Structure 1
Amino acid sequence: MAQRYINYNLKQQVLFWSACLFLWGSALSQKKWEDIGLNLSPYRGIRSVYVDTLEDQLIFGGVYLEEVNGQSSCPVFTWSPSGGANILAPYDFSIMPVRVATDIIRIGDSLVVIGQNMMAIYTDSVWHTVTEHDQSSLQQIIPYPYGEGYLIANGYSRTLMGDTVGALMYWDGDSLYEEFESISDYIGEGGIYDVIDYQGELYVSGNGSTLSGGIMNEILRWTGTEWTDVDGGITDVSKMGGVNAMVEYQGDLYFGGIFTQADHSGESHIARWNGSEWLPVGGGVYPHPLSQSIFSMVVHDGYLYVAGQFDEVGGVPAKSVARWDGTEWCGCGSYIDGDIRDITFYHDTLYIVGAFNYIDGDSIAKVARYIGEDFADTCGTTLYSALSSVRAPSEEVRVYPNPAVDEVFLELPVPSGQNIQVEVYTSTGVLMETTALRPQGKNRLVMDVVGWRSGFYLIRIETDEEIYTASFFKF
């Protein structure tokens, strides 16, 4: 009999995950996070953090912060372990009514800050306005990959200084210009959230590209002469999601955001692309609903860290922050009560920022650093990861609808008269009750999944001659 699966000891798997969940619960009594001595406004959030290596400090940007340690503030302030928080010189909000700072970059002796209703430069303790009364929502600024200057990703509303501009702009340090005018034909009313140079091509991500027959691809790449689709792209069932962040890790390009699957891979909110094909990422983010998201990703010391708003990644308990080593996911074992908007490392220490107020029951608001001994509190190569490399091609086993709500149909390439045994597992190796399986027509079975928990499921199909594997997602 041909073997198309990895032999898997279910009993050991269940015991392993039971132990992991026990350790996760007991870990809550161990302090793993601490605040950094800030007293931030309780109803505001931090959106971005930038490591300023020139001044050896962190720079935070966010929703307009009325106070930091009791001092009146603007949306940007600095912090260092030795000097504490430093409030940048306030600016006139009647001239530049910024409320959200989304990205920060140092250029020489100046800080450049972009965000909602703004682009400004901070030099010699003085703010200089680049855009006034702007109705744009700038998202990301990176060095221009093809020469001097910088690229700026623009959000949904694209009006600068009263003029309509494109979704991608070039800044020469003095003036803003529309770059790649043709991209607006693909983005439409959507926006760009991130920009990255990968394998010599420019990738942009966000919400709105409409190549490939009108599918919301969420990502485009510039080949040097034209914008093109990325082999099916990021598909989003609700058409309400998008790709928030991109990062290169171990030679592959990772996408994180609010989406259901990449090129029908069945993994939600995170995707992996090697330049020619989509690869598995250990099962994706759980739960699946589009309120879950990945907002930020960073690579450090051989690991990929992701942060956002989620409960599990690949079946591993991980509340809003997780680590990936290319084969398995790990969670730190903490409970964070709000979303994480950005993540970075400073002096080899992990920092998170967002809208949270408590971590593991301790009052830690908006900014936290990790002080635990080892981030890898709960790890595991899930059943999904173990079987992902041997899943049957779609032409052999059809599983639909996928995602499913009440019923799942299986079409098998099996001659009539053969015995068929079907087993369905959760991503953590729990065998589901499948007595509801019933034949419907030639080589087709229908399975009731009413009442099953939302998430990914693995299917093992054994016939008289062969073994197949497949997967589906249950809403």
Structure 2
Amino acid sequence: MNNLPLGPALLPWAWLLLALNSFSQSPWEGVFMPGVQHGSERRLYADEANGTVYATGLIRFDNTTSQHSAVLAWRNNQWDTVLYDVGFIRHAVVFHDTLFIAGGSITTINGAPMDNMAYLHNGEWHSLRVNPSDPPVERFRIIDDTLYVCVLGGFGPIYRLVGGTWEPFGTAEQGVWGLDIINYQGEFYAALNGAGFVLAKLVNGSWVNLSDSLMANISMAGTLVEYQGDLYVGGQLSMNEGMPGQGIFRYDGEAFHALGSGLQTYLTNNNGWCGVQDMVVQNGLLFLSTPCNYAGGVPVNGMAIWDGTEWCSMPGDPQETGSISSIAFLSDTLYIKCGATIDGEPVGGMARFVGPVLTEECALVTEVPEHITGTELTISTTTDHMVLITGLRTTNTPTRSMTLKAGWWRRGWCVPLLGRRG
């Protein structure tokens, strides 16, 4: 028997193996932050002008030392350590080509006291404390070429930089936390915590709760963005506590609106506290990180996308070994602060999205008829042309809810394909 050459015979199988391998590759690529163990890096900040992503927070560089705070810079596909062992740093920002850092008890930099704020000028660090009480600084925001900070307590929740000094921006009860600030339709709004605040508006120099319906007991807004002409509010928000949306809602300048069933730990759950950890608008889409398991009924793994009408999940499992505390875009590339691995592969606490397809599963949010808006019923459609009905209750088990997935077949509903009880 003559031996046949193996190459042509195996070629189809080789192509099949290559195809299977390409499908198995993770859409996330590790960026590998320096250090062997990472704590709560509070936020990423993208300095687009200088091609840099800054990461701040607690980090351990070996297995013997305790955790220290660091400012790390990712540029030209490599890491630089800007600062190390300077107290707990929560956020960084570049304003007028100057790097500012802030947090809680930034004790010293190179032996000089820094309190809770510092900036780098001509290669030297300088202190720029917010006020004598030195409350921890939560985050920066640049609005209309002015730098603002949100502080956790003290004499005011929001400050702005004027002529090289920090001035209170709006008054509130002492001890109220400032978590975010935004200029929406020419007026200032802030995510505040304490004294019943959730979303506040600046009125005649004072922060005033935007609506009596937003009085909070446990719910808390944490991040604000403007998207498609509306103000989006994300955080730990519970509809069972009276919030207009679960984990997230939008405000059009007059009324509040839910985004379908919102963000849930399990379907029909409107009392969970997973919510939004971070969100950013890019290329006409709203990206958000969340430890929730569902966004508008769509299963998600740490990341969700909203396009104004439908929720989508992102491929892969970026929340495999840790929640996604912060997200940022640099040159249209999405970076996330995550756990040690994604899809079984090491990523070193930070990753970027490199997949060919941005979304995995989507569901269109359909408005619930007015006469049943007081119930927990939510209706949405999925990418496989099915209808997802969440919050159904039966007469024999009125305290339990059911999720029904069904299709329209020959002018009638088919037998339910999926039913879950909670």
TM range (shorter): 0.7 to 0.9
**What are the residue-to-residue correspondences of 1:269-288 with 2, within 5 Å?**
269-287=247-265, 288=269
Contact 1:140 1:195 in 2 (8 A): no
Q: Which residue of 1 aligns with 2:202?
A: 222
Of 374, 388, 403, 1:428 maps to: 388
Q: Which residue of 2 aligns with 1:313?
A: 295
Say whether residues 1:303 and 2:285 are aligned partners.
yes
Q: Which residue of 2 aligns with 1:150?
A: 147
Q: Which residue of 1 aligns with 2:381?
A: none
Gaps of 5+ in 2: 1-20, 106-115, 378-385, 406-420
Q: Which residue of 2 aligns with 1:183?
A: 172
Q: What is the distance in 2 between the residues matched to 1:427 and 1:266? A: 23
Secondary structure, counterpart of 1:120 in structure 2: strand
The structure showing larger relative contact order (alpha-carbon pairs under 8 Å, at least 6 residues apart) is 1
What is the RMSD of the two structures over their aligned residues, measured on CA atoms?
3.5
Q: What is the distance in 2 between the residues matched to 1:183 and 1:223? A: 11
Shift in alpha-carbon separation, 1:304–1:79, aligned structure 2, 3 A: same
AA of the residue aligned to 1:200: G
Shift in alpha-carbon separation, 1:370–1:175, aligned structure 2, 3 A: same
Contact 1:265 1:278 in 2 (8 A): no
Q: Which residue of 2 aligns with 1:338?
A: 322
Shift in alpha-carbon separation, 1:431–1:227, aligned structure 2, 3 A: closer
**What's the TM-score, normalizing by structure 1?**
0.67
Q: Which residue of 2 aligns with 1:196?
A: 182
Say whether residues 1:350 and 2:328 are aligned partners.
no
The offset of 1:436, in angstroms, is 0.6
Q: What is the distance in 1 between the residues matched to 2:208 and 2:309? A: 30
Give deviations 1:259-290, integer Å, cap 9, x for gaps.
11399466311010000001231211011454
AA of the residue aligned to 1:297: M
Of 316, 323, 333, 2:305 maps to: 323
Q: What is the distance in 2 between the residues matched to 1:369 and 1:86? A: 18
Secondary structure, counterpart of 1:54 in structure 2: helix
- The number of residue pairs the alignment matches comes to 360
Q: What is the distance in 2 between the residues matched to 1:135 and 1:457? A: 53
Contact 1:166 1:178 in 2 (8 A): yes
Identity over aligned residues, as a percent?
22
Of 100, 105, 112, 1:112 maps to: 100
Q: What is the distance in 1 between the residues matched to 2:32 and 2:190? A: 37
Say whether residues 1:249 and 2:227 are aligned partners.
yes
Gaps of 5+ in 1: 1-25, 159-164, 210-215, 404-425, 438-446, 459-473
Q: What is the distance in 1 between the residues matched to 2:404 and 2:194? A: 30
Q: What is the distance in 1 between the residues matched to 2:243 and 2:141? A: 30
Secondary structure, counterpart of 1:392 in structure 2: helix
Q: What is the distance in 2 between the residues matched to 1:252 and 1:32? A: 31
The offset of 1:57, in angstroms, is 1.3
Q: Which residue of 2 aligns with 1:125?
A: 123
AA of the residue aligned to 2:363: G
Q: Which residue of 1 aligns with 2:416?
A: none
